[in-house]
Amino acid sequence: MTRAILLTGACGYLGSELIRELAAIYPDKTIRILDNLQNQGYAALMNLPEASIEFIEGDILDTQTVEYALQDVDSVVHMAAIVTTPMNFEHPTWVHQINHWA
């Protein structure tokens, strides 16, 4: 059985490039994307290559969502993170949860 590769936070610039690279390198794998689309990364989902790609809109801190996303996965590339400095000051606990616990 072919298993999936899970990409968290894949709708940023690096993630959108990685989706395409992994689809080319592993054409027999499902590329599963978990992203909350908070940064409006819709462009990452446009013009995707012909590959088995699944998208799950969800929060990396939601245990049920993560458990669902991990079904039949054998590799995870974790890119979900908050990188904007103002968010670090405005919501430090939330940023810490995502950047350190997730």
Three-state secondary structure readout of the chain? CCCEEEEECCCCHHHHHHHHHHHHHCCCCEEEEEECCCCCCHHHHCCCCCCEEEEEECCCCCHHHHHHHCCCEEEEEECCCCCCHHHHHHCHHHHHHHHHHC
CATH 3.40.50.720 describes domain 4-101: yes
- List CB contacts of 77: < 8 A, sequence separation 6 or more: 5, 6, 7, 8, 10, 18, 22
Predicted TM-score of the model (pTM): 0.83
pLDDT tens for residues 6-17?
999 888 878 888
State the pLDDT at residue 10. Answer: 87
Domain coordinates in residue numbering, the chain: 4-101
Contact 16, 41 (CB under 8 A): yes
pLDDT tens for residues 24-75?
999 999 999 999 887 766 676 777 777 789 999 999 999 999 999 999 999 9
State the pLDDT at residue 92. Answer: 84
Report which residue type is found at 73.
V
Contact 60, 80 (CB under 8 A): yes
pLDDT tens for residues 75-101?
999 988 777 777 777 888 888 888 777
State the pLDDT at residue 28. Answer: 92
State the pLDDT at residue 46. Answer: 74
Per-residue pLDDT band at 1 (split at 50, 70, 90): low
Q: How do strand 4-8 and strand 73-78 relate by DSSP bridges?
A: parallel
